[in-house]
Amino acid sequence: MNVPAIETIRQAGESLRAGQLVAFPTETVYGLGADATNADAVLSIYETKGRPRFNPLIVHCADLAMAERYGVFGPLARKLAQAFWPGPLTIVVPLAAGHGLADVTTAGLDTVGIRVPDHSIANALIRAADRPLAAPSANPSGKLSPTTALQVSEGFAGRVAVLDGGPCTSGVESTIVTVDGDTIVQLRAGALAREEIEALTGKTVVLAEKGAKISAPGMLLSHYAPNAAIRLNAIPEEGEAYLAFGSAVAHHGPTLNLSPSGDLREAARNLFAYLHQLDKAGASLIAVAPIPSTGLGEAINDRLSRAAAPRA
């Protein structure tokens, strides 16, 4: 059953307070939002996405003051928040006493991932709802993250109300870190390059070990997958679609170039949208050109490797 479109932020805020789901834009990707303090509403996210219950959700807040109602920020975590919020950085911190978040929001963990989105509509929506919003990407679990309202509507066959804010500017999810004493651990690469964190703090960011216990979103080995299979670091063959980067080889099949000029920021912005388009072209296999692993290339390659992983 199709859901009527939500046209105003006020209307969307009322829907969220009533326990309903609303998809909304951020600078990274569209999120599927619910009142993070309402267990039934949050369960609707899991049910709508088909998301494993052990995979926790990011809590979106309007500012650091709001975030500190729900999580405990030590000096280093607070420094990161003050430097990079609003922005595409999620910080995993211990839950604050009396936080009021639904247990299903954190998947039963004693920590919570929080971020302040850098998007005027997202920020206004959080304030209109007067609630922290639990919001994973607005797509069926394991599928491509949406960067437009249309992709959200198509992914859920019109079953989710969407607040349309146009295309997302980053096009890849937030970077997720946690702070252990004076050590910063990156749990997921994302739209904020870890080099920027290292430049601010003067500390080397440690990478979480593969196969580590799931403590944040985006840590599943198979994730962000299109229907087509993916072949990485590849030269396209006959019958394949081709996701190119930089100088592309000639190919007669469906082809899109993430960035002809080799700009990693442009490539990150286009990643999910182009995978959506190639998936729709009907190819059963997508060949992906090699992409540098520096800067935002780390996040791009992380998403691609998860998309290419064996399906559960």
Domains and CATH numbers, the chain: 9-207 (3.90.870.10), 229-308 (3.40.50.11030)
Q: Which residue has the higher pLDDT, 226 or 118?
A: 118
What is the DSSP secondary structure assignment for residue 146, as one 8-state letter? Answer: P
Instruction: Kindly state the average pLDDT of the residues 294-299.
Output: 80
pLDDT digits (tens, 9 = 90+) for 50-106: 865 557 899 999 999 999 999 999 999 999 999 999 999 999 999 999 999 988 888
**What is the Rg, in whole angstroms, of the alpha carbon atoms belonging to the chain?**
19
% pLDDT > 70, the chain:
91
139 and 276 Cβ atoms separated by less than 8 Å:
no
pLDDT tens per residue, range 13-62: 999 999 999 999 999 999 999 999 998 898 889 889 886 555 789 999 99
Average pLDDT over residues 166-193: 92
Q: How confident is the model at residue 1 (pLDDT cuts 50, 70, 90)?
A: very low
Average pLDDT score over residue span 139-167: 92
Residue from 227, 229, 228, 283 nearest 255 by CA: 283
pLDDT band per the 50, 70, 90 thresholds, residue 172 = confident
Cα 233 to the center of its chain, rounded Å = 23
Confidence of residue 309 (pLDDT cuts 50, 70, 90): confident
Q: What is the pLDDT of residue 303?
A: 77
> Based on the number of CB atoms within 10 Å of its own CB, is 65 exposed (0-12), middle (13-18) or buried (19 or more)?
exposed
pLDDT of residue 4: 53
Report the pLDDT value the prediction gives residue 256, as an integer from 0 to 100: 96
DSSP summary character for residue 31: E
Structure tokens at 215: 């403590």
217-241 confidence digits (pLDDT tens): 655 556 557 888 999 999 999 999 9
| Sheet of 22-24, strand order | 22-24, 31-35, 133-134, 58-60, 111-115, 89-94, 175-180, 183-188, 206-207
Taking the C-alpha atoms of residue 273 and residue 29, their distance in angstroms, rounded to an integer, is 10
- Higher-confidence residue of 109 and 121: namely 121
User: What is the rounded average pLDDT of the residues 283-311?
Assistant: 85
Tell me what pLDDT residue 110 has.
Answer: 86
Distance between CA atoms of residues 145 and 79, nearest Å: 29
At residue 136, does pLDDT exceed 80? yes
- With 80 as the cut, is the pLDDT of residue 246 above it? yes
Average pLDDT over residues 241-257: 94
